Structure 1
């Protein structure tokens, strides 16, 4: 009887809190072959003035900036870069409008003056799920010999199942694809269901679907140090996309070019 009461208390303690807005952040990682001054702004409806941070990129070193985000609202990212003498640029501006969803965005090619570009939407500590709504206290779970799985529910350590977590997991219950791991979720103190924990870049009941973000568009505006014929500017800078040195999971991403009037 005491064991049942303890199990119920644990379940409530781990999963009671559930935030409607989602609790997470955006992490932007940039890299350039040259020294660059960068200012990044993130705007959402709930923060009209935005959140602004700056960084000094050192040659061939990646630098990351974190911004809190509301997962219920789209996020506009504006990246402003100072002078880039090696490219003959007075300034560069990149704009993107993104819908927050947990995961990493790494385009295959990136525009000058960068050679590395990565955007990650992640959850705050103890929040899980695609939009970081699900609360699960992992520290408490570990004290009881359990853990919080990728869906934000309590689960046994990897490879085990059952109320006491001593049974070997039955992989036939969840034939995970694309390197997904078979696990279980305790939806209540008495209900345990199979679950596939997917590897980066995949989702679905058995991790069968690759993530696709081809509707995301980055718009790049260049201001050269000297005035050129517009057609020359467009042809020259359109050819300055480089292989992304920070790529982890390939995504289909459009990088559009726009010429700013100078």
Structure 2
């Protein structure tokens, strides 16, 4: 089978007993960076020396099939450099192909920067979305953020330290300067820091320079207020774009809090 193994994101003490046992028994490890994995095995005191296969963003598509086929006969442990494989890390194509080919996949759970940052952010955790790294190109970034501006979930992003200030400034411009957020830096490490505040305030703080691994957590957008007339117009726009009336009224009702039945009746009346 394929074993997805979460590895420490900073503190080696977060390596579970199950992870250590898996490493000791492994015959093959597919690793994002084999040099990093060799170092991890050494630091954890693992005496086993399994075969290491490089599996990263640039070769996963080509190597996935052979790894999955090999997993029919022996266990393949799959690790990224830190955290959970497949989450903004290599492994997704392997899992996808294994599911298609009927090869078992299991997971050795453990550290994840996404849920760790979410947990310490002080922002709502009942509904959230992980958005990965924001696009680097200005136009793509603006379009992506505008799509998320009114999202009612807490949003989690990865970002590099050199781009943090610019990204936070863009967040403040599109999401609103006072929208609450948290910048989580060097999670589980010696210099762990969580900086909370409005987006504009955090952008000003980051402009002084920030180091380390960064996760940004942004609070949910405010609900957009629609009048019944505006909501009806939105339904009509969606229908004109090809959405079925029933689906359009349901979607707009969910977004506005208005009655789907009333919107449907109003749309039918407007047709007549």
Structure that is richer in helix per residue: 2
Q: TM-score, normalised by structure 2?
A: 0.22
State the structure with bigger RCO (CA 8 A, min sep 6), 1 or 2. Answer: 1
Q: TM-score, normalised by structure 1?
A: 0.23
Structure that is richer in strand per residue: 1
